[in-house]
Amino acid sequence: MSERATPFYCPFCGDEDLRPAEDSGWLCFSCRRVFTVTFSGLRPPEGAK
């Protein structure tokens, strides 16, 4: 089992009533949307060598 980040609010409606969904996503009980959060990577600061 892998660790996953916990979102604090729904990206669609802004509500904070989120629960883990069965398919490893997150279910918002307010708007009933299921979504996932993915990490894309890190970007170096502007002008860094």
Q: Which residues contact 27 (CB under 8 A, 6 or more apart)?
A: 18, 19, 20, 21, 33, 34
- pLDDT 10s per residue in the chain (49 long)? 456 678 999 999 999 999 999 877 999 999 999 999 888 888 888 877 6
Partners of 26 in beta bridges: 20, 35
Q: Model pTM?
A: 0.69
pLDDT at 33: 96
